[in-house]
Chains A and B, each alone.
Chain A
Amino acid sequence: MAEISAAEQPADLLDRYRHNAGLSHGDLWLRYFELGGMDDALELEAILCGALEPSAHDREVIAHALNERFVELGGNHPVPYSESDAGRRRNKNGKT
């Protein structure tokens, strides 16, 4: 039986953010596509529901698409960006 650490997030957490943002799967896909996402709508749905593992870049694009929606609704980027990308950005920003 697999042990679940409390620190880990449920695989379908992204879909709950989508739901809370009031976006349909189609709406979110369009936003994701607009931001350069390469997966089709069905793949995105599978990622959101935890059935497919996104690449780090895809995870970033999905998080940003959701966060832009939350900003429109008056929120402040509640969806976490991936750690590796954030670290890489900090390094790059420090360098330039």
Chain B
Amino acid sequence: MGNGPTAGQAARGGGAEVTTPKDPFGEFAITVGFENASAVLAIAGEVDRFNAPELGAILDAVIERHRSVVLDLAELGFVNGWGLGVIAARASHLRRSGGTLAVRSPSALVMRLLDITGVAELVLVDSSGPPRCHLGAEQPGEIAAGLLGTGPYHLPVHVGRLTAIPADTDVVDGALRLVVALARATVGGADGASVSLRRHGHLATVAASDQTIADMDASQYATGEGPCVDASVNGRRFHAESLGTETRWPAFTPRAQALGINAILSSPLLAEDRPVGALNIYSRTAMAFAPKDQELASVFAAEASLILAGAGVDVTDEQLSSRRNEALAARRVIAQAEGVIMEREGVEADDAYAMLCDCSRTSNRPFRQWAQDVVASTKRPHLDPESEPGQSHHG
């Protein structure tokens, strides 16, 4: 086995790094170290079918000598079925022989994969590692690294796991109010915060730290402009550093100044990659938000987005719900067309589907249009229940 010596070297300890140049997709690396009686394997990058065997070989070598093994997944971006299979097999093996396999600091995504596949039941989940920021895909990793690595700052409360809550509007609003409270308390310079969400086609404030802040949001909805509106529509951050010199929102800016607001920072909230609202932070002081505070606001916006993603359909915009209705209608037509073909051709449902699929593919016409044509081809002017099957009477 090509990687035997490497695995052996890793298992002997002291810390060894193993990389797999063959893997074309992810920067995969394993570092082996020891804490007390446990062997700790830190896995970085992505585990896929190319490098999963490597992980398995190293795990096997470590398990030969250690009953307590910890997988540090803080740097693991993704693990697919192959990697999960490798982990599950070693976890079962260790369990049978009286040992334990623990995973430490998995990201929300990796934890979800462990949950879905049942691997979570085979391993101990150790969340005592360093806290992690859950950033949206669009945000650079350096933000988390910068926030966690340079200062005494830590996220005061980790709210990422709230994504497991059911899609109940009250619960979602409650979670968003928590985010608002945390943002208000921890972002430097913040005098108030709010969350705006698009519901039924209109922006509405679902959480605000006080009435002035709610009025600020309402002024933006009324004038149709402002950082909150722009962040909610464009899906990127809008920062009004000093309203005294702000020119982008001429109708809204004077209203904000009249209420004593001088700086606004609006970070977008995303659900299924679409902007659906904004986390707004207001300050009475111009230039109140330092770069660190701006990044912190992004972290809270990402947390709020996770809550929305976990809550699912109820908080996304009406464009999406109309798209969902269209999908339902198309699905119905396709099922009808399937039935027509089953009857005409004397085939099973899957075959009828495959035939429609073939027509769509060879003609480059969407499946839905073919299905509509098939259903339309059955239409007759009148259907008389007393007539023979297959006959029609023209009135």
Contacts and interface: CB of A to CB of B under 8 A. Distances in A.
Interface of A: 1-2, 4, 8, 10-12, 24-27, 30-31, 33-36, 42, 46, 49-52, 56-57, 60-61, 64, 67-68, 71, 76-77, 81, 85, 88-89, 92-93, 96
Interface centre among B1, B331, B354, B358 (most CB of A within 10 A): B354
Contacts of A11: 48-49, 80-82
B272 A27 contact: yes
B367 A30 contact: no
Contact of B366 (A4, A68, A77): A68
B291 to A, nearest CB: 29
Nearest to A8: B49
Contacts of B331: 33-36
Prevailing SS type, chain B contact patch: helix
A85 B347 CA distance: 14
Interface in B292-347: 323-324, 326-327, 330-331, 334-335, 338, 345, 347
Prevailing SS type, chain A contact patch: helix
Given A35-B367, A46-B116, A50-B82, A92 B361 contact: no
A4 B53 contact: yes
Contact of B327 (A34, A46, A71): A34
B1 A51 contact: no
A52 B364 CA distance: 30
B229 interface: no
B124 interface: no
A26 B271 CA distance: 9
Contact of B354 (A50, A68, A85): A85
B84 A33 contact: no
5 contacts: A56-B350, A60-B357, A89-B355, A89-B358, A92-B351
B113 interface: yes
Contacts of B350: 56-57, 85
